[in-house]
Amino acid sequence: MGEHGMEEPTWQGMDPDGAVARVRRAQSWSPLLATVGLALLGLVVWQTLAVSRIPEPIMHPNRFDGVIYWAGPNLGPFYAKQDVSSAELLFVGDSRVYDDTDLDVVRQAGEDSVGLIWGPNADLSVLLPAIMDLPAKRLVVALSPSTLGAKTNPVMRASLVTPPPVFEPLSLESALGIWVDGERERLIEEGYSPFIVDTHLSSFRKVLRETTRRSEGGTHQLDRLVRERLNYFRTASIRTLATRRWHREWFEVPNADKLVQACRITLEVISEEERAAAETIVVEKLRELVARGVDVRCVRFPVSPSVLSVEREFVPDARLEAIATAAGVPYYQYQEAGLPAGVDPSEQPERFETRDGSHLTWAASRRFTRMLVERIQGPSTDG
Amino acid sequence: MSFDSGTFWVLFGLSWLLWWRLPFSWAKTAALAASLIFYAWWSPYYLPLIIISAVVDYAAGGRIHAARTDGARTRWLLVSLCTNLGLLGYFKYGHFALENLDSIAGALGVEGVNTAIPWVVPVGISFYTFQTLSYSIDIYRGRLAPAKSFRDFFLFVAFFPQLVAGPIVRAQELLPQFRRRQWPSPWRIQNGLYLIVWGLFTKIVVADNLAPEIDRIFAMIPSGQATPAHVWLSLIYLGCMVFADFAGYSCLAIGLACLLGMRFPRNFLYPYISRGPQELWVRWHMTLSSWLRDYVYMPLWGKKGGGSRQYTAMLTTMVLAGVWHGAAWTFVMFGLYHGIGVVVNRFWVNTFNGGRRARGWPFDRPKGPAAITKRIGIILLMNVFMQSNWVFFRAPDVASVFEVWRIAYIVPFQKGMGWEVFAEARHLVLVLPIVLMHVTQLLREWFAWRERPWHRVLAAAVMIVALVVVRRTDTADFFYFQF
């Protein structure tokens, strides 16, 4: 298992009995054939075992994942999954929509034209106006206390008070570095903790870099094209390949109480005026969509009991129900379906396991999506 | 275009076909074209730099060889040195110099300078500059004849497998290989494929998966959320990530060269089994350390005995090695850290061993259980030295380096380690392959353990499965591209 152990013997003892030399003289392809055979066998075993036993099933890759979607000047970024500009069925909301909705399951249920737009703590009063012109005929909207007036990442908003400069491809890295340094200093002076600022700037830097490169066209567009074609080949040919969520969940120990504090912080910073203003916009936009003939359904996704109790401290369930009622759309409530911390998922199979209290594990998300799609495909009177 | 991108493999497949299908002369032209496309993929604006560097060195090399007086030879060498070091200094260290000027101006209370510069560090400039410099210097020293064809020379400078992140291949090693095509044996092709799988595995499975965890832990440090156990974990991860990333790239480059029937020099020899800072630099980035040894350290030292002159030469060389890695004070500190380590190491050998190394060093075998235990102890101690140094590569400034060291070395005595972090550290599983690789190397060196062909078959199959299953979908650039 050497880096290149057999390449150039450089010290005595590396090839004491001439085994390396013999192998080099042997003009045989059998090691290569054996390697390919073993690797294929390994993949077959993996596929067979993984589907049922290794932490989560293997996921179908996201073909066009992570397209950056700006709701308006300096409003976002949100992220689009699949081609939202032509999707007939569209899911919108925060990270719960992204994590809890498995688009493969949706497709398997016969929905061929499906897309998803999400953003961390996405404020629906910002997101809904931005998607009004998309051609979706059916819309699934994630309703929760954090999607009403949430400061879509408060640091992001503070950062976007002054829009980032337009970066030139030639000087992208140095200009970005200088901008990030200045921004870091400014945000910390404004009172944000270095941890939050660094976390935000680290991801925002990637977004700005990618946006600049994509706008540049040229080689980056070609790279993207090749990547998409290769991904398409992989998704069409082999189902075992993309393992992102399995992979993430394996490296993270599930903890249904993990995001309790984060949830409290998110909800604390929304003032009552902001929340009320957001509710008004959301109701208005939902009505407008319904009037246009769009089949809208609101959903509250499962969370762990500890997260739910924090959410109820700030927004009672009835307040969200009132939004759906005022807009005249069905409202499916699953907030109590999340599994508490420390309970084995097999003990309560009717509930859904979260990995952090706020987002479902992959297996749970597939189960949940299956159930949700059945309701969406049903009549809209089923609220 | 990165080795782990689909676009690269499309280009390489095409180049490989042309390399073996066309007459050799045309094949070399095609390889040169592919190399320039490969380089221009990042940014075509910097293509002129590599062309200028190649033209100047080709011309200077020829003139040095043809010159009849020492004065003329020296003048042409100076042309080469000034051009290469000038480009490197301007593009790589310009921003650093401006920043420091600005700070000095601020301290003196005068108007500062504009530190915004309209360029980025061109990819691979440190690598190809060192290659072209070695060409001119070797001709000057009479150790190399100038290249007869500009195309061959340009191909040596821009040859895509090693262009952006090494290994630093010298003209003496590469130019002769362009004289005739060497058809590879099945063994060489399989060796190349194995090295490519090894390189992709370490980069995609190990380095790419460790990177976000390191980011996560480092983001906890400024707000005081990181315990000493967090910091030690991140240093271990960082050590494995840097090795996996850089050794992975080198291995890919060597493997690609193998498929084209070429030989590149070894660049890594399992550095984490080193017993001291000097041995570390025999095993780590070997082509850079041997370059610095031949073109900086030896001329500075001049083999004029031990003592202060040798120590000064060592310290200077290592500081230069640090600065080579990047234009920031953290890299100066990195060089100084290793410089002090190397000097202390040499002082120890000079004082207690009469300046002599054990026979066969650094591959001498320990004899008996006591010697083995002692050697393992030294290696573990040396790893504390090595893993602590990677913080220079990751910390944004020198103050952060000291903060990390404070948490790692002082806080455990004040508040304890916070061991419980290790219980949930699943990323440690990614450290295992790196440990396994180093242990097998120890077995080879100490006990003449033999690697059988089926070991490779098994290892390659496991790595391919891991590549398919454990890869991240959003990959990071190779770490060493920035140098």
Our CA-based measurement puts residue B355 at a distance from the nearest CA of chain A, in whole angstroms, of 22
Question: What residues of chain B lie within 8 A of the CB of A1, using their CB?
Answer: 436-437, 440, 451, 455-456, 459
Report chain B's C-alpha Rg in angstroms.
23
Compute the distance between CA of residue B53 and CA of residue B50 in angstroms, rounded to an integer: 5
Nearest-Cα distance to chain B for A224, in Å, is: 9
The answer to whether residues A263 and A374 belong to one domain is yes
pLDDT at B421 over 90: no
- Are A124 and A217 in the same domain? no
Residues A299 and A160 in one domain: no
**What is the mean pLDDT of the segment spanning B446-465?**
86
pLDDT at A164: 72
The 3-state secondary structure of A126-145 reads: HHHHHHCCCCCCEEEEECCH
Indicate yes or no: CB of B186 within 8 angstroms of CB of A168: no
Task: Please tell me whether residues A354 and A268 are part of one structural domain.
Answer: yes
Concatenating the DSSP letter of every residue in B173-235 gives HHGGGGTS--PPPHHHHHHHHHHHHHHHIIIIIIIHHHHHHHHHHHHHTTTT---HHHHHHHH
In this prediction, residue B474 has a pLDDT band, given cuts at 50, 70 and 90, of: very low
Give me the mean pLDDT over the B343-352 stretch.
86
Burial class (CB in 10 A: 0-12, 13-18, 19+), A302: buried
Task: Looking at the structure, tell me whether residues A209 and A332 fall in a common domain.
Answer: no
Q: Label residue A29 by pLDDT band (50, 70, 90).
A: confident
How much is the pLDDT for B414? 85
C-alpha–C-alpha distance, residues A70 and A127, integer Å: 9
User: Are the beta carbons of B190 and A29 separated by less than 8 Å?
Assistant: yes
pLDDT of B100 > 90? The answer is: no
Q: Are residues A302 and A375 in the same domain?
A: yes
Residues A352 and A314 in one domain: yes
Which residues between 252 and 271 in chain A have a beta carbon less than 8 angstroms from any beta carbon of chain B? 252-253
Q: Verify whether the Cβ–Cβ distance A42 to B465 is below 8 Å.
A: yes
| B6 → closest Cβ in A34, A227, A253 | A227
Give the residue-averaged pLDDT of A143-167. 73
**Considering CB atoms only, which of B120, B456, B470 is closest to A31?**
B456
Q: Does A313 touch chain B (CB under 8 A)?
A: no
Q: Please tell me which of A56-60, A132-136, A365-369 the model is most confident about, judged by mean pLDDT.
A: A365-369
Residue A379 tokens, joined: 């009549």
Mark yes or no for CB contact B251/A172 under 8 Å.
Answer: no
Report the pLDDT value the prediction gives residue B479, as an integer from 0 to 100: 40
Q: Point out the domain boundary residue: A207, A238, A269.
A: A238
At residue A334, the pLDDT reads 93
Question: Which of A6, A7, A209 has the most B C-beta neighbours within 10 Å, making it the best mutation to test the interface with B?
Answer: A7
> Which is more confident, A13 or B379?
B379
* Residue to substitute from A1, A12, A212, interface B, most B β-carbons within 10 A: A1
Max mean pLDDT range (B165-169, B222-226, B297-301) = B297-301
Please give, rounded to a whole number of angstroms, the shortest distance from the CA of A82 to a CA of chain B: 16
Distance CA B220, CA B210 (A): 16
The complex scores an ipTM of: 0.73
Interface of B with A in 405-424 (CB under 8 A): 424
Task: Please tell me which of the candidates A39, A46, A195 has its beta carbon nearest to residue B220.
Answer: A195
Answer whether residue B165 shows pLDDT above 90: no
State the Cα–Cα distance between residues A123 and A153, nearest whole angstrom.
10
pLDDT computed for residue A283 by the predictor: 94
Q: How confident is the model at residue A3 (pLDDT cuts 50, 70, 90)?
A: very low
pLDDT in tens, B167-214: 888 888 888 888 888 887 888 888 889 999 999 999 888 988 888 788
**Containing H/E element for A161?**
none
Q: Is B269 exposed, middle or buried (0-12, 13-18, 19+ CB in 10 A)?
A: buried
- Beta strands in chain A, from DSSP E residues, in sequence order: 67-69, 78-81, 89-93, 114-118, 138-142, 295-300, 331-333
In total, how many domains does chain A have?
A: 3
Of A7, A29, A251, the CB nearest to B427: A251
Residues A227 and A126 in one domain: no
Residue-range definition of the domain harbouring residue A185: 153-238
B444 interaction partners in chain A (CB closer than 8 Å): 2, 5, 13-14
- What local confidence, expressed as pLDDT, does residue A18 receive? 58
What residues of chain A lie within 8 A of the CB of B284, using their CB?
none
Q: Of the residues A238, A256, A286, which one is the last residue of a structural domain?
A: A238
Q: Which of B71-80, B110-119, B305-314 has the lowest mean pLDDT?
A: B110-119
Place of tokens 């020492």: B70
* A115: helix, strand or coil: strand
Q: Does B222 touch chain A (CB under 8 A)?
A: yes
Beta partners for A78?
Answer: A69
Could you give the residue ranges of the DSSP H alpha helices within A65-193? 95-100, 103-108, 124-131, 154-160, 172-189
Better-predicted residue by pLDDT, B441 or A76: B441
Residue with tokens 């017993």: B275
Sign of CA dihedral B255, B256, B262, B267: negative
pLDDT classification of A238: cutoffs 50, 70, 90: very low
Average pLDDT, chain B: 84
Task: Tell me if chain B has a CB within 8 Å of the CB of A7.
Answer: yes
Give the closest-approach CA distance of A55 to chain B in angstroms: 13
B293 CB within 8 Å of a chain A CB? no
Active-site residues of B: which are they? Answer: 325
Asked if B270 reaches chain A (Cβ–Cβ under 8 Å), the answer is yes
Interface contact A1, partner B, CB < 8 A? yes
Asked whether the beta carbons of residue A13 and residue B455 sit closer than 8 angstroms, the reply is no
Same domain as A291, residue A198: no
Mean pLDDT over B274-288 rounds to: 90
pLDDT tens by residue, B101-115: 877 877 777 776 666
Best residue of B39, B187, B208, B403 to probe chain A, by most A CBs closer than 10 Å: B187
Restricting to B residues 421-460, those with a Cβ less than 8 Å away from any Cβ of A are: 424, 426-427, 436-437, 440-441, 444-445, 448, 450-460
In this prediction, residues B21-25 reach a mean pLDDT of: 89
pLDDT, one tens digit per residue, over A260-292 is 877 887 788 788 888 898 899 999 999 999 999
What angle do helix axes B24-40 and B150-158 make, rounded to 10 degrees?
40
Nearest chain A CA: its distance from B74 CA (Å): 36
Residues A279 and A375 occupy one common structural domain: yes
Residues of A (19-58) whose Cβ lies below 8 Å from B? 19-20, 23-29, 31-32, 34-35, 38-39, 41-43, 46, 50
**Size of the A and B interface in Cβ pairs below 8 Å:** 184
Asked if residue A362 and residue A312 are part of one domain, the reply reads: yes
**Cβ separation A43–B468 shorter than 8 A:** yes
Task: Compute the CA torsion angle B395, B401, B406, B407 (nearest 10 deg).
Answer: 10
Q: Which residues of A touch B117 (CB under 8 A)?
A: 171, 174
* Contact: B254, A4; criterion CB under 8 Å: yes
Shortest alpha-carbon distance between residue B357 and chain A (Å): 16
Pair (A371, A278) in one structural domain: yes
Mean of pLDDT values over A70-94: 75
Which stretch, A21-35, A339-353, B371-385, has highest mean pLDDT? B371-385
